[in-house]
Amino acid sequence: MASAIEQPEIAAAAAAADPMLPALYSIQRVRQETDDTFTLELVPEDSHSSFGFRPGQFNMVYIFGVGEVPISISSDPGSLPMLKHTTREVGTVTRAMRQLKRGDVVGIRGPYGSCWPVAKAVERDVVIVAGGIGLAPLRPALYRLMAEREKFRKIVLLYGTRTPEDILYRQELEHWRGKFDLEIQVTVDRAASNWRGNVGVVTTLIPRAPFDPSNTFALVCGPEVMMRFTVMELEKRGVATERIYLSAERNMKCGIGFCGHCQLGAVFVCKDGPVFALNQIAAILGKSEI
């Protein structure tokens, strides 16, 4: 299917070899981020690894004998060969992953999929709307934006989580806010009385967020219902449909278009996505059980 968005080139070597064979990475650190999320910090066993990725892409992460799951890359594209994957403990594989220690080895296949249109957003405002762990696949885009901050106009992060304790990458966000010109607005579903910030869904931040809708790229990732309402609010503000990008999630067994599991209407989330221009999936966004 013809894709309207930036598609990373696939290294010929990666495509030619057996694409189902993982490369080995050892764990440098397992970092607890919040109550139920953690980050694996990984380095390749192969010191000649030529792994490179673009913000928004994902890897298939294999845990010995347990299974393999797709997880977006959440590290800085500029700090390779170190890779970071932030995930939530929700299933058999991620629970086993949480038990891993420094020095344990995992399998990595990737990077797969499409990427955020960072290069296209030069000279424009960028609004990033994230829900919960949806911030993880957006963090590499933030690294890119911060690394070349002067190339972009306003950069706004609108971030919704369940509680203040669920805010990911808190220190980093505060560091960026202090160092660069980055507007961050956080809202939570519920909080104790000492929370002075916003309470409510993330879409409530959009109407008053400081960006120029006629010249904005919007990057959105979170639960599907959150993305659907975010799109409605962004369009209401006047952000052009073709400048709204979303990252979708589906079951995946291969990551390369063979297993069929990740289909979302006519697109494969693994190879046409996970990052989609809104017009690629607008017709099915909001339809149930697609």
Partner 1 sequence: MTTEPVHAGGTVALEGEQLDRLITALSERKFEVLGPKLHDGAIVYDRLSSLNDLPSGWSDEQSPGKYRIKRGKGDALFGYVVGPHSWKKFLYPPVQRMWQAERNGKGLHILPNHDSAPSKFAFFGVRPCELSALAIQDKIFLGGPYVDPGYKARRENLFLVAVNCTQPGGNCFCASMNTGPKAVAGFDLALTELSQDGHRSFLVEIGTAAGAAMLSGIPHRPATDADKQLAERVLAHAARHMGRKLDTRDLKDLLYRNYEHPQWDKVAERCLSCANCTLVCPTCFCTTVEDSTDITGNHAERWRRWDSCFTVDFSYIHGGSVRATPRSRYRQWMVHKLAAWLDQFGVSGCVGCGRCITWCPVGIDITAEASAIRQSDQAKAPAEQGRESE
Residues near partner 1 (CB under 8 A): 1, 10, 15-16, 18-22, 24, 26, 45, 62, 64-68, 88, 90-91, 103-105, 107, 249-251, 253-254, 256-261, 263, 265-266, 268, 271, 283-284, 287-290
Which residue, 66 or 240, is less far from partner 1 as judged by CB?
Answer: 66
**Closest distance of CB 84 from partner 1, Å:** 20
- Residue 21 carries which DSSP code? P
Minimum gap (Å) between residue 275 Cβ and partner 1 = 17
Identify which of residues 27 and 240 has a Cβ nearer to partner 1 in the complex: 27
Closest of 109, 6, 125, 21 to residue 59, by C-alpha? 109
Q: Which is nearer to partner 1, 70 or 213 (CB)?
A: 70
Q: Which of 112, 110, 105 is nearest to 24 (CA)?
A: 105
Please check whether residue 173 is in contact with residue 183, taking contact to mean a CB–CB distance below 8 angstroms: no
CA angle at residue 106 from 105 to 110, to 5 degrees?
140
- If the CB atoms of residues 125 and 272 are measured against partner 1, the closer one turns out to be 272
Residue closer to partner 1 (CB basis): 123 or 289: 289
Residue 133 Cβ, how far from partner 1 at the closest point, in Å? Answer: 10
Q: State the nearest-atom distance from the C-beta of 281 to partner 1, in Å.
A: 12
**Any residues with CB less than 8 A from the CB of 160 and at least 6 apart, and which?**
130, 131, 132, 186, 187, 188, 189, 201, 202, 205, 222, 226
For partner 1, which is the closer residue by CB, 12 or 192? 12
Q: Tokens standing for 103? A: 């020095």
Nearest distance from C-beta of residue 93 to partner 1, angstroms: 9
Chain-centre distance of CA 206, in angstroms? 20
Q: How far is the CB of 113 from partner 1 (least distance, A)?
A: 12
Q: What are phi and psi of 230, to 5 degrees?
A: -65, -45
